[in-house]
A and B are shown apart, each in its own frame.
Chain A
Amino acid sequence: MHKKRDDESFRDLIFGILFAILSVIIIVDQSLQIIVKPRLYDGSLNDRGRYAMIFDAYDVIENDDSDSIIFLGSSKMREAINGNLIEQINGDGVNIYNLGYAGERPYYRMIEIEQIIQAKPEIVVLELGPNSFSKTITPLTEQSLWKMRQLVSLSGKPAPQSMYYSQLTEHDKTLLPSSNIEIADNLSAHFRQSIELTSAYHLDYEEKRWDCNIDVQCAPYFKHDDFEQYLEYPTQFPNWLAQYRESNRTEIYYDKYLDLFYNHTIIDGEYNMHTVEGIYNINHQAYDFIIDSLVSAGIEVVIIALPYNPRAQNNSPVDHWEYVNNSIINYEGNEDITLVDWYWEDWGEESFVDISHLSSVGEDEVARRISPILMEIINGE
């Protein structure tokens, strides 16, 4: 009798433990999806929410039956590509995805490599610009590490199990999530702040930091109706240069920002992202790793060197972009890829909203010039 009762209790205990484990998995996963992720998207937890949507974007692309073209790069790429315009020129059957985000580095971007390949795009267009080869601090700064940890966590795959793992420095390998528990732990670290902010927003107790229709820091949540449209043409910078021009203060603008752009190597303790290093650094290695991986997966790769505001190029210190020039020459010899080099072209000041980012005029120009190149590749010509 006792034995029977003990057996039943033992069975109950095992079932109870299983229910507990199941509950933990469901609650933690859903809490991170419902509470933390939206706050990463809208930038409440950091000052750049856009990278948080990357992996959900790849899910959308994977389910897209049309020919998909993905643009990857920094804010320069985000500001240059108007997917709607390119789609209009190329006609139905081609979908453009602009996944450029501010502060991008190939060393971070390589975390996405498996998902990019899995999304099966026809073409991946990579930006070739100062960010691609700019100095990456080793060991990573706290801000960079934070972003990489988030990216690995959002990818849902522990770093050691991923393709890019071999490209990481030994130091960075120890800092990125290496198990599913660490991934959940990493995202759960933001739960308190996320639930606080979510409650505050709902109670109108605190004003939202970002508005996804106005501010580039914010991305609409992937369940939002605007998400797919946003992937084609994300929120853009305002045209600052035009604003200065209207008030006849153009020179004041250049005096201030050209100096900042070229001469300040360290800002707020961080290296200026436009300080090129001139050696084959981990960013450059990651850039080549991305190209090789895509080419091996049978995906067409286009490299695009976007132009700068002519005032910036004319005032650049001697040999400042020498390493970029050398890289362009180097990639010209690579038969596996298509190189589009507009780096030193003069598109006129109207094509820019500031020193480096294209305006709507610039976007039109990009769409007009890139479309035939892309169609040519898609049509296999």
Chain B
Amino acid sequence: MVNEMDFVTPEYYTIFLPVVVILVLFIGRMNRDVQVLVMLAMSYIFFWLASGWHVLLLLTSTLVDWTAGKKIHESDEHKIRKRWLVGSLTINLGLLAVFKYLDFIIETWNLASLKFSGAPEIDSFGLLLPVGISFYTFQTMSYTIDIYREKHGPYERFLDFACYAAFFPQLVAGPIVRSQHFLKQIKKPVSSNPQRFRLGLTLIIYGLAKKLIIADNVALHVNAIFADGVPLDNIGLVWWGALCFGIQIYCDFSAYTDIALGSGHLIGIELPENFKTPYAATSPQDFWRRWHISLSTWLRDYLYIPLGGSRGGTRVLIIALMGTMLLGGLWHGASWNFVLWGAMHGVLLLAHRFLIRIDKVKKIFEYAPKITLIGSWIITQYFVFMTWLVFRVEDTTMLLRSLKSFVGYDAHWNSTELYNSLPEIKLLTIALVIIFIITHGISGKMGGLKHWLSKQNSLVWGICCGILISSAFLLRPAETIDFIYFRF
């Protein structure tokens, strides 16, 4: 039963989504209770098809936070409120720790004991990572924390809360939605209209095109480059690999978000944007305002600011920022690569903060703003793509070799070797990378190509959507690659 449903399975578009739309907008029309019940039931069916028995973990998380939220709200005693909060966080983070990090901890322990003490090895549990656990855990945790902070009260009805926690478009890979954002939309019957429906369709088509045309094609180059036996001392090869992976991960993840947002719009639910052309960012801070926005704002609100943020002096800032980024990196997965990735971004953010405080730097920006902005963009993106190497290349030796080549240390340039190391579809992939760069730039300037497209007249819209659907159909590789963020 597992993995029978996601946003690239045809059944999602031919059966699941049409059924949801019909049930919510037509059968349950004007009756919000029926609509919520339908959305909840369909969300659990979706999750059951995607993840099997792990649906019980979602149910546990939902029950825990529903109860904790109620109890915290009902109690006036700080101690009791805190106890419920700690209890909720412990269970949520405990589930996350067991299913996501336990094997990683055991492996790290084994490695350390092998090196230092020679203690016997502990067997790992080989637990399968429940799909979407990082996303819905953070989502439900934010609900309980907000009630504890008295930002808002609890949901009045359990079904509403369960629907918020399990809402199928964002359940598996976000965006991480805040409870009030969702609640205000289901307080009255949800409805769509032709413009909104068209926006929904546009987002779904745009997302599918990004995933199937660009992400899955460049992934073949990425997989070929970061494989055993490839000469990673070739600068061109590593640069091309990093560029392709940066494009792959963005197109893959943002495609999922687009489809999630589009699916939501079809039934009248608006989910928050998760990306704003991140590769147009001109500073590390700017990058995090554009990349995985729902996670970065979550980390800001529930980790960075509670840790002291930028208001407690340099030391506190360093601790808060590095702590947030390290944990943000670890959120992605149980691997030292992600920790290092987070650490590198933390260092970049700190370096940027300190750099812009220097008077000389400020003066340069004032003297030649356009040129410095271009320079900032180049430097920012250089480091962003460098960090993608850490994210992608798991093998330590291979990673070190790649990083050396990326900075031009102990590396060489050989175009023939570069050409021969790439898989057979070369020209098409190069063309797709160029198309991506151009459209990403245009999209940044226009505030989102998909939004522009959804507002065009029916002829232009129809033809553009036709081109995107046809291209996705024709250019998709034989095997669709799983969404990267399913692993997180």
Binding site for B on A (CB under 8 A): 6, 9-10, 12-13, 15-24, 26-28, 31, 184-185, 188-189, 191-193, 195-196, 199-200, 203, 205
Contact = CB atoms under 8 A, between A and B. Distances in A.
Nearest to B466: A23
B466 A19 contact: yes
Given A6-B194, A192-B425, A193-B425, A16 B470 contact: no
B194 A12 contact: yes
Given A9-B193, A13-B198, A23-B466, 13 more contacts: A12-B198, A13-B197, A15-B458, A16-B458, A19-B458, A23-B467, A28-B470, A185-B473, A189-B478, A192-B474, A192-B475, A195-B428, A196-B427
23 contacts: A12-B194, A12-B458, A13-B194, A13-B197, A13-B198, A16-B458, A16-B461, A17-B201, A17-B462, A19-B459, A19-B461, A20-B461, A20-B465, A22-B466, A23-B467, A23-B469, A24-B466, A27-B466, A192-B217, A192-B474, A192-B477, A203-B427, A205-B427
B135 to A, nearest CB: 31
A345 to B, nearest CB: 48
B195 A9 contact: yes
Contact of A199 (B427, B458, B470): B427
Contacts of B426: 196
The 3 nearest A-B residue pairs measured at CB: A23-B466, A19-B462, A9-B194
Contacts of A191: 474-475
A204 B466 CA distance: 31
A154 B59 CA distance: 51
B457 A193 contact: no
A19 B463 contact: yes
A24 B474 CA distance: 10
Contacts of B194: 6, 9-10, 12-13
Nearest to B463: A23
Contacts, number: 90
Given A23-B467, A24-B466, A16 B198 contact: yes
B428 A16 contact: no
Given A9-B193, A13-B194, A20-B466, A31 B474 contact: yes
A23 B473 contact: no
Contacts of B201: 17
- Name the residue among B425, B470, B475 with the largest chain A CB count within 10 angstroms: B470
B417 interface: no
A203 B459 CA distance: 34
B451 to A, nearest CB: 16
Contact of A16 (B217, B424, B465, B475): B465
A21 B462 CA distance: 8
A18 B195 CA distance: 16
A31 B470 CA distance: 9
A199 B425 CA distance: 11
A20 B459 CA distance: 8
Nearest to A27: B470
B383 to A, nearest CB: 33
Interface in B170-224: 193-195, 197-198, 201, 217
Contacts of A185: 473
Given A196-B424, A196-B427, A22 B473 contact: no
A9 B461 CA distance: 13
A21 B466 contact: yes
A16 B462 contact: yes
Contact of A188 (B428, B458, B467, B473): B473
Contacts of B425: 192-193, 196
Nearest to B459: A19
Nearest to B461: A16
Contacts of B477: 192
A230 to B, nearest CB: 29
Interface string B411-431: 000000000000011111001
B238 to A, nearest CB: 23
A184 B478 CA distance: 14
Contacts of B217: 192
Contacts of A189: 478
Contact of A22 (B195, B197, B428, B462): B462
Q: Which of A15, A18, A22, A24 has the most chain B CB within a 10 Å cutoff?
A: A24
Nearest to A205: B427
A8 to B, nearest CB: 8
Nearest to B427: A199
